[in-house]
């Protein structure tokens, strides 16, 4: 195929290991073609997000779109799942760190989502190393000798699925005409260029998880990217399969439409619970009637989360797509057997609920949770690869149910304020040091949970909520609690290198500003190498 010559990308970054293997002239030319073809539309859709937010701030509330009623009413189905994505009982997620990837691929899970997004701190070194690690994983050459241990891939591995960064994120080290390229197109383009043909040759395919979408038009853009990429590289159309994370409240109103736009490439939807909670806070931030209580009170059993999960299962199964459950973030510990047993019981209960709701599989963050989750689902699946026969036709979810945040006998406490501050400080410090998946208080935290923490602090302060144990949330209370929690976290880190002072400055900026910052990773990214 003859292709027009394009000017190369401008790389404004240091040499790091693997860069010559990843940023080959052919690969960067492919990313440039993606940029030239699609970045204008990406920017238009981001501007549409801002306009929609202005309407929400003015009191508009989402509804099922009248202009797409025909799509919702029509009888259509997504493409059948390929063999290695048909059984997805347990999926494990983690960053594209070499050791973590080996452990995840060997974990016994059915699928491993290798994450360039919420669990990766996008330093230049991490991004390039992640692409190298993905190439090696596809070719089964991924290995590591570290700390006197050898890490090698097993014979049986989880199916590899890649999560690129979201539409809103830039890759500042790679420029076109002085402007950064889309991190989504960069991550997707490099993986697809280097690995699409190889995955197909090995009986799998180029599989992706798509994050942070807010409308079916954003899904349409992804589908057009997929069609173009396959045509450019001579990859059979439909080889790409994508699972969409429904992790924004606006996307929940367009699940049918999102699957429809991606129908020849769609593999399912996932209930991305932590980002979904963050989205509820962000989108309705100006409404005092939409204030959420302490983070620990916002479970999958509260009204708006329950309605969202049920609608996701119903939508997916009507269309022949997989419905994937949410994350179990607990990190087992040998130091506290009592804590372990209580936490594992909660994980089991959560996975039993998902399986009985009709989900086809679920997510875990740690290899030790794979067996717990699998057992809960296998009791319902009874040997089947999924339960798409569970159609949930008795459910008729209405718009008001998806935004019902009334949770009786809950509120905002001093302990909730302190916990959010501590988690945010711990995580931002870790992220600034280049570690995007951080073990904090026996939970695997990523950017989504840090977003909840700082967004709740902003929401509580902005609305001056009354605390259940006395007083009101004010800037003074926040500053006092932040000072105390900073010292607590500093003591917990001990002599380990940290960037806590910078983390505290960023958290102050996010919480005390009169304007809500859309994503903490945007100002945070400017502080990374």
Pure H helices in 106-254: 124-138, 183-201, 216-233, 249-252
Whether residue 325 contacts residue 361, with contact meaning beta carbons closer than 8 Å, is answered with yes
144: its two tokens: 């590591």
Residue 364: CB atoms within 10 Å:
28
Taking the C-alpha atoms of residue 183 and residue 170, their distance in angstroms, rounded to an integer, is 5
What is the DSSP secondary structure assignment for residue 187, as one 8-state letter?
H
CA end-to-end distance (rounded Å), the chain: 38
Structure pTM?
0.96
Q: What is the pLDDT of residue 52?
A: 98
Q: What is the pLDDT of residue 3?
A: 43
Strands 266-271 and 322-328: parallel
Residue length, the chain? 529
Which residue is catalytic, options 110, 256, 360, 446? 446
118: its two tokens: 């919420």
Q: What is the pLDDT of residue 6?
A: 54
414-525: same fold as 22-400?
A: no
Q: What is the pLDDT of residue 7?
A: 61
Sign of CA pseudo-dihedral 347, 321, 95, 426: negative
Torsion of CA 370, 119, 301, 331, to 10 degrees: 50
Asked if CATH classification 3.40.50.10800 holds for the domain at 414-525, the reply, yes or no, is no
Q: 351, 363, 347: which is closest to 158 by C-alpha? A: 363
Active site residue 509: no
Q: Class assignment of domain 22-400?
A: alpha beta
Taking the C-alpha atoms of residue 435 and residue 380, their distance in angstroms, rounded to an integer, is 37
Strands 170-176 and 179-182: antiparallel
DSSP assignments along 312-381, one per residue: HHHHHHHTT-EEEEEEE-B---SS-HHHHHHHHHHHHHHHHHHHHHT-SEEEESSGGGHHHHHHHHHHHH
Domain ranges of the chain: 22-400, 414-525
Q: Which residues of the chain have pLDDT under 70?
A: 1-7
Active site residue 446: yes
Whether residue 253 contacts residue 62, with contact meaning beta carbons closer than 8 Å, is answered with yes
Which residue is catalytic, options 163, 374, 433, 454? 163
Instruction: Report the run of H or E that residue 245 belongs to, with start and end.
Output: strand 241-246
Whether residue 519 contacts residue 168, with contact meaning beta carbons closer than 8 Å, is answered with yes
Q: What is the pLDDT of residue 4?
A: 42
Whether residue 460 contacts residue 119, with contact meaning beta carbons closer than 8 Å, is answered with no
Q: 405, 448, 511: which is closest to 61 by C-alpha? A: 405
β-pair partners for 56: none
Q: What is the pLDDT of residue 513?
A: 97
Strands 241-246 and 266-271: parallel
373: its two tokens: 């989750």
């Amino acid at each position: 195929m003859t292709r027009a010559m394009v000017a190369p990308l401008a790389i404004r970054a240091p040499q790091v290991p693997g860069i010559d293997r990843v940023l080959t002239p052919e690969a960067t030319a492919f990313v440039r073609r993606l940029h030239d073809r699609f970045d204008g539309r990406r920017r238009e859709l981001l501007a549409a997000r801002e306009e929609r937010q202005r309407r929400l701030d003015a009191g508009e509330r989402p509804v099922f779109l009248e202009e797409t009623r025909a799509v919702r009413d029509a009888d259509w189905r997504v493409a059948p799942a390929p063999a290695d994505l048909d059984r997805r009982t347990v999926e494990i997620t983690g960053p594209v760190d070499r050791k973590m990837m080996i452990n995840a691929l060997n974990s016994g899970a059915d699928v491993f989502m290798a994450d360039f997004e919420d669990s990766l701190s996008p330093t230049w070194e991490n991004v390039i190393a992640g692409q190298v690690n993905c190439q090696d994983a596809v070719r089964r050459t991924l290995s590591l000798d570290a700390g006197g241990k050898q890490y090698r891939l097993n014979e049986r591995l989880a199916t590899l699925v890649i999560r690129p960064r979201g539409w809103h994120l830039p890759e500042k080290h790679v420029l076109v005409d002085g402007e950064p390229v889309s991190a989504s197109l960069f991550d997707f383009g490099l993986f697809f260029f280097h690995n699409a043909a190889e995955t197909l040759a090995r009986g799998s395919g180029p599989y992706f998880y798509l994050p942070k979408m807010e409308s079916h038009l954003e899904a349409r853009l992804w589908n057009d990217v997929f069609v173009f990429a396959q045509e450019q590289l001579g990859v059979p159309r439909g080889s790409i399969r994508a699972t969409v994370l429904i992790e924004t409240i606006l996307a929940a109103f367009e699940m049918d439409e999102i699957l429809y736009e991606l129908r020849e490439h769609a593999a399912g939807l996932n209930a991305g619970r932590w980002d979904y909670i963050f989205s509820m806070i962000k989108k309705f931030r100006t409404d005092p009637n939409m204030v959420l209580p302490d983070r620990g009170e916002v479970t999958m059993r509260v009204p708006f989360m329950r309605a969202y999960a049920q609608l996701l299962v119903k939508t997916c199964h009507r269309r022949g797509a997989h419905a994937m459950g949410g994350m179990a973030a607990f990190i087992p510990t040998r130091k506290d057997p009592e804590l372990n047993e209580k936490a594992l019981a909660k994980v089991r209960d959560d996975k039993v609920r998902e399986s009985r709701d009709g989900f086809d599989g679920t997510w875990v963050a740690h290899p030790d949770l794979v067996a717990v989750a699998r057992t809960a689902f296998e009791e319902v699946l009874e040997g089947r690869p999924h339960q798409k026969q569970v159609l949930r036709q008795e459910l008729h979810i209405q718009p008001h149910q998806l935004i019902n945040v009334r949770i009786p006998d809950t509120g905002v406490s001093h302990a909730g304020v302190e916990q959010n501050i501590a988690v945010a400080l711990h995580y931002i410090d870790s992220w600034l040091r280049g570690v995007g998946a951080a073990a904090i208080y026996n939970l695997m935290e990523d950017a989504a949970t840090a977003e909840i923490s700082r967004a709740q602090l902003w929401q509580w302060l902005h609305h001056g909520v009354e605390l259940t144990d006395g007083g009101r949330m004010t800037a003074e209370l926040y500053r006092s609690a932040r000072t105390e929690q900073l010292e607590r976290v500093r003591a917990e880190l001990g002599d380990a290198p940290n960037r806590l002072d910078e983390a505290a400055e960023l958290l102050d900026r996010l919480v005390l500003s009169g304007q809500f910052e859309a994503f903490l990773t945007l100002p945070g990214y400017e502080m990374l190498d």
